[in-house]
Structure 1
Amino acid sequence: MTAAPSGLLTEAFEAQRDRLRAVAYRVLGSHADAEDVVQEAWMRLARQDEATIDNLAGWLTTVVGRISFDLLRSRAARPEAAYGQQSADLVVTPADDPAPDEQAVLADSVGLALLVVLDSLTPSERLAFVLHDMFAVPFGEIGRILGKSTDAAKMIASRARRKVHVTDRPAGPGREHQQVVEAFRAAALGGDFEALLRVLDPHVKLTVDTPDGVVVTLGATKVAAGARMFSGDAAHLRPVLVDGVPGHMAWRPDGTPLSAIAFTVARGRIAGIHIVIDPAKLASIHLTAPA
C-alpha cells in the first residue's frame, strides 16, 4: 500500500494548483471540469510513490493533460455533454458592473473569444495547441499523452495553430457585440422574422439547458422561428454580462431566476445562443432581480 503524500509533497502540489487549474481550464473551457481534473490529479499523486517522480511540475502537467484529453474525447463522443458542462460555469453580473477579476484575467490570457475558437479543434489539436503554445510543454511529452510520436505531435499542434489563426474570432464584450445582441432582442420582441435572419449567422447554434436535459437547434431559420415564439418573454429580459459578455436575464415575480441567455457574436452576427432555464443551474447565479 502506497503511503500518503508527505507534507512537503502536499505543499508542492498546492503551489502548482493554480497553474494546473489554468491548464485544465484552457483545455476544457469549463471551470467545474478543471476543478475535477485537478482533484483527480491529486488523488493519483496520493497513490504514487514519491521516489518515482523526478519533476513534480512536469509529472502533474502530464497527468492533468491525460485526464483532460480523456474528457475531451468523451465529449466528442457525446457532444451534448459539453453543452451541459458549460452552464455550470455561468458568471452573471449586472451590465453596468466591471467584470470580475477572474474574467479580466481570462480576457487577457485566453479570452472568451479564443475559447470559442478552440471548441472548433479536435481533442488532439486542442490539447497540443494549449499545452505547447500556452504552457510550453515539450512536443515529446505531448506526444506521449496523445499516444503519438514527437513529430506527429508537432504536426497536430501546427494544424491547430493554423486553424486558430485563420478563424474569425467572435467579438469581445464591446459596443458592436452589444448592438448585435440588442438588434436580436428588438427583432424577437417585434416578431420580425426577416430581421432575425439578418442578425443570425446562417449556422447559428442554439443550446437550451432544460430540467430534462440539453436541447440543441442548428440553423438560422429554425432559431429565428423559435425566437419569435418567446418574443413575449423578451420584453421582461434585462441586460447582464454572462461570462463577461452581453446577455440577458429574466426573473419571476417572486424574484427567482427564470432564464439566462448568453450570446456569441462573430463577424457582426450571432453565431451562438446559450439559454439556461433549468432551475437547478440558475440557482447558482447570485444576482438579485432589479427593483
Structure 2
Amino acid sequence: MSDTSPTDPVAEAFEAQRDRLRAVARRMLGSHADAEDVVQEAWLRFSRQDTAAIHNLGGWLTTVVGRISLDVLRARQARPEASYDDGLPELMAATAADGPAPEDDAVLADSVGLALLVVLESLGPSERLAFVLHDLFAVPFDEIGRILGRSGDASKMLASRARRKVRASERSTLVGREGRERREVVEAFLTAARQGDFEGLLRVLDPGVRLAVDTPDGVIVTLGATRVATGAKLAAGAAARGRAVRVGGLPGLVSWHEDGSPLSVMAFTVTDGRIIAIAIVTDPARLAAMDLPGPG
C-alpha cells in the first residue's frame, strides 16, 4: 500500500511514475512483492529530496529503482539459497493443435514469460540490469553505466551479452537436431532424478545452475549443481507422472498427482548440453488457475 497522499504535488508526481517503476522492478527481480518493496523505498528516497533540483524525474526515479534492484540481486547472489515471494509468473496453458512434437503440449506464460524469466534468472545481476533497462525500457547506456558504476560502452557490452543468451533461448524450440538434444538432456536429468543417480545429475547440470521452485510459501531459489542434485526429489516425483511440454520454446514437464490434480509445471534452459536454469511451479492455487492439459 502506498504512503503517498493524492493531494501532495510531490506524491502526485511520484504516483504518475509508479506503474512504470513497478514494471521495471518486477522484470528486474521476478517478484511482485520485492518490486513493491523497491518502489516504496524509491518513494521514501524521493520524498527526502529537493524535488526542484530533479530535472528529469523519470530518469532519476529509474536510476534509484535500478540501484535498489541491483542491490537486491547482488544480495540474492550472495545467498546460495533463499526464499522470494511471487518469483514466477502465473501460466496459461493450451493443448497444441500442431507443432514440432505431436506428443508435446504447449504451455504459454504470461506477458513477462516463464521462458524469459528462466533465462533472466541465469544472467548475472549486471547483465540482467543492463538488458532489462535498455531492451525492455529503452534506458540509455550512459544512464545504465551510472547505475552500475561503469562506462556506457561497458554497459552496452553487458546488454549485448545478455541479449545473446536471451535470443539463444528464444531459438531453442523443440524442433530439429538441437531441440532433440535439449529434450535428451532434460530426459537424462529426469531419469537420473528418478533413479537417484547423483553422478548422472551432475553430468547434465551446469555448475552454476539456478533452480526456482514456486511453492505456497513463496519461491525457493537454489544455486549450484551439487545443491540442485541433492534436492532433486521433486523432479523425481514429477518424472514418474509427467508429460513433455513446451514452455515458450523451452523443454518442460507437466505432472499430476495420482488423483489427477496437477502436481507441477517445470521449464528447463539447456545450453551446450547442460541445464543452466530450472523453473518449477508447485503452488496448488496457481496450478488450479491454469488451463493445463489433463493426465490422459
Considering the TM-score relative to the shorter chain, is it more than 0.5? yes
Distance 2:39 2:46 in 1: 10
> Where does 1:197-236 land on structure 2 (aligned, <5 Å)?
200-201=204-205, 203=207, 205=209, 207=211, 209=213, 215-216=222-223, 218=225, 223=229, 231=236, 233-236=238-241
1:160 paired residue number: 158
Task: Choose between structure 1 and 2: higher helix proportion.
Answer: 1
Offset of residue 186 of structure 1 = 7.4
Asked whether the 8 Å contact 1:129–1:157 carries over to 2, the reply is no
Distance 1:74 1:17 in 2: 24
Note closer, same or farther for the CA distance 1:231–1:254 as it changes in structure 2 (3 Å cut): closer
May I ask how many residue pairs the two structures share in their alignment? Answer: 270
* CA deviations over 1:128-148 (Å, ceiling 9, x no partner): 554456523362x445544x4
* CA deviations over 1:195-253 (Å, ceiling 9, x no partner): x6799355473636477965555169x84x97699656523124456577442233334
Q: Flag structure 2 segments of 5+ consecutive residues without an equivalent.
A: 96-105
1:71 paired residue number: 72
> Where does 1:80-229 land on structure 2 (aligned, <5 Å)?
80-81=81-82, 84-85=83-84, 88-96=87-95, 99=108, 102-103=111-112, 111-112=116-117, 115-116=120-121, 119=123, 121=124, 123-124=125-126, 126-128=128-130, 130-131=132-133, 135-137=138-140, 139=142, 141-142=143-144, 144-146=146-148, 148=149, 152-154=150-152, 156-161=154-159, 163-164=161-162, 170-172=168-170, 174-176=173-175, 179=180, 180-181=182-183, 184-185=186-187, 188=190, 200-201=204-205, 203=207, 205=209, 207=211, 209=213, 215-216=222-223, 218=225, 223=229
2:252 paired residue number: 247
Offset of residue 6 of structure 1 = 3.7
Q: Flag structure 1 segments of 5+ consecutive residues without an equivalent.
A: none
Note closer, same or farther for the CA distance 1:30–1:170 as it changes in structure 2 (3 Å cut): farther
Q: Does 1:272 align with 2:273?
A: no
Note closer, same or farther for the CA distance 1:226–1:125 as it changes in structure 2 (3 Å cut): closer
1:77 maps to amino acid: A
SS of 1:136's partner is coil
Larger CA deviation: 54-63 vs 11-20: 11-20
Distance 1:187 1:61 in 2: 40
Offset of residue 37 of structure 1 = 2.0
Note closer, same or farther for the CA distance 1:163–1:144 as it changes in structure 2 (3 Å cut): closer
2:101 paired residue number: none
CA RMSD of the aligned region, Å? 4.7
Offset of residue 78 of structure 1 = 1.5
2:286 paired residue number: 284
Asked whether the 8 Å contact 1:204–1:219 carries over to 2, the reply is no
Using the aligned pairs only, state the percent identity: 43
Offset of residue 275 of structure 1 = 4.1
Q: TM-score, normalised by structure 2?
A: 0.64
Larger CA deviation: 55-64 vs 22-31: 22-31
Note closer, same or farther for the CA distance 1:247–1:7 as it changes in structure 2 (3 Å cut): farther
Asked whether the 8 Å contact 1:170–1:264 carries over to 2, the reply is no
Asked whether the 8 Å contact 1:113–1:170 carries over to 2, the reply is no
